[in-house]
A and B are shown apart, each in its own frame.
Chain A
Amino acid sequence: MRELPRRDFLKLTASALLTAAAAAAAAPVAWAEKFYREPPWRRKKPYWGFCVDIEKCIGCGRCVDACKTENDVPREPFYVRTWVERYIIRKDNEIKIDSPNGGMDGYPPVENPETVAKSFFVPKLCNLCENSPCVQVCPVGATFKTEDGVVLIDRKYCIGCRYCIQACPYGTRYFHPILQVADKCSVCYHRLRRGKVTACVEACPTGARMVGDLSDPQSNVSKFRENNKVQTLKANMGTEPKLVYKGLDKEVR
């Protein structure tokens, strides 16, 4: 090989470094332009979303019962696809959370109600993450996100390693004791595709739960997200849930 004179070599290195530095200096601008990410429901139709209005939930537990009936969820308190938590925040900042039997049979009366600063119910279900950690970790592709944005489980393909249960930050998955596969809220996908709302929405007497198509700007969920200040759970996880809450307190985990 021909030997490169030392001077030329140094020149070449210096110019390469300068080019790289210039590119690096310009990069933040380029990135900032990309910072806005178009939501997937701009491109795909339909795209399912879910909204919960905490200010409407009365903790009757009809949703939990309906979900178990509709989806053959084992009737044990430790297998739930949806559940309702009750938060009791006392004036001295003591926080108590409970969800006996997932809230299906109601709740025991609150002791010393005069010391309660605030109390409310929080329904929980699959968060419909856009970046689902459960889908990310499944070794075989038995849990997946559909074209219309719902995370589902292939019961015939799941090997039962339970990695997805570990990966879900929201505790919405359980191990089905009879089928021996992971199981979770499917947002009643079989109902959505038949033009029906989910069983929990059907059973909710106060309209605290809403399911709908985010790609339709006129849909109930789109309007709800537009007209209210909504939040997601554990936003720091970067999971980008399509389940949003109105009236979420900072203590809700």
Chain B
Amino acid sequence: MLLKLIRWARGYVEFFVSGGFPERFINLLNHRGIIYWDFVPSKDGFTGTMTVRDYRNIRQIARKSGVRLRVRKKNGLLFQIRKYKRRKGLLAGVLAAITLIAFLNQFVWTIELNGASAINELELRAALSENGLDIGSPKADLNTGEIKRGLQLRIPGISWSSVNLIESDAEVELKEGVTVKKKKNSDKPANIKAACDGVITKTNVRRGVLSVKKGSAVTRNQLLVSSVTQDSDGKINFVRSKAEIFADVIEKDEINIPNSNYNIIPDENYYEKSRLEFLTLSLPLRMSDESGEGVRNYYTYKLCVNSRLLPLGESIERVYPLKAVRQKLNPALRRESLKNRMGLNECFNHGDCKIKTRQKAFKNDRLEVNYTLNKNIAVIQPIEVR
């Protein structure tokens, strides 16, 4: 195959040999070291093939051996070019294609990120873009060392990185570092006080001296666990108290919903704007006269060849305009809404508590709820020891 390609590139002719002494012709060709092939006998002579350059130099051999040479067929690149010489558009197209490929080869087409699992890909791409590496960036302007350093400074979670430019692809290899959490200063002495009023139900002291008993009532900011301890020798030590103190607490919530409200919802009739994206270029394809606020959805479709995304595609912005819908609540709906709001309130505000009792009272537009909650009321309060 390769041999055929080389022969085609150099150009070859099929010729016909007649008369004289063809055997002598063969021997002279061998003697001169001229390469030929497919030299086969035919009806009135022989046919053979050789390169154009060699064919030009065998006239003397033909004369010596008394044979007549006649070209039967011309093959190869040279003759193909000559054939299409008049079709200048074709030549211009080939030249334009070569120029375009050479021009596009000077830019980064794809960025591949390897080794990032904990770090967000979007954050990485943004950091690379800040350091000059983006789709469409000219390769000549890129300094891989600087990009590498910039990336590691921008994202501290990266312990090692490498940027490789292979043709039009940029491969970014990363290794994530292990972040060591700073230990909180837990040696500082601290008391535990009550966050609110309540009745102690359960205590769980891990460090410190308990100052209250189960069943006793406490007020807000009352000392629950003391940091002052005394060892067997009578020496006084200050420790950082650690405890969970559970108490029954009474809390009151008020939930209010107006009679009518405006709901702003996106309209079903959307409009679209689209743009053609190529490298860093963005050209409008479809525009819309409409403008204003709305819910915007963005879609990007990119050309994919051999499972590789190319920097050519269409980005669509779909806008759902917002509309205000007035909703008037009837008493039943209002009650239901208040109950729902109460459920949400309990979920978000009292999620870590156990609700012992709940007393609901509907008053005009609002709902009043009295809770008896069992929750941890311990609050750490550091103390200064000199």
- Indicate whether A and B interact: no
Task: Please report B residues at the A interface, Cβ cutoff 8 Å.
Answer: none
